[in-house]
Amino acid sequence: MARTQERLAVARKALGTLRALPLTETVSDVVRDAAIQRFKYTFEATWKAAQQYLLDIEGLETASPRSAIRASFQVGVLNETATRRALMMVDDRNLSVHTYNEPLAEATFTRLDEHAQSIAAWPGAMGRNAGQPLEEA
The 10s digit of each residue's pLDDT in 31-81 is 999 999 999 999 999 999 999 999 999 999 999 999 999 999 999 999 999
Give every CB contact of residue 9 below 8 A, 6+ residues apart in sequence: 134
Q: Within a domain: residue 25?
A: yes
What is the tally of structural domains in the chain? Answer: 1
Q: How many Å apart are CA 37 and CA 134, to the nearest integer?
A: 24
Which sign, positive or negative, has the C-alpha torsion 120, 123, 129, 133?
negative
Domain CATH number, residue 117: 1.20.120.330
pTM of structure: 0.88
Q: Within a domain: residue 23?
A: yes
Q: Within a domain: residue 135?
A: no
Q: Within a domain: residue 57?
A: yes
Q: Which domain holds residue 30?
A: 2-129
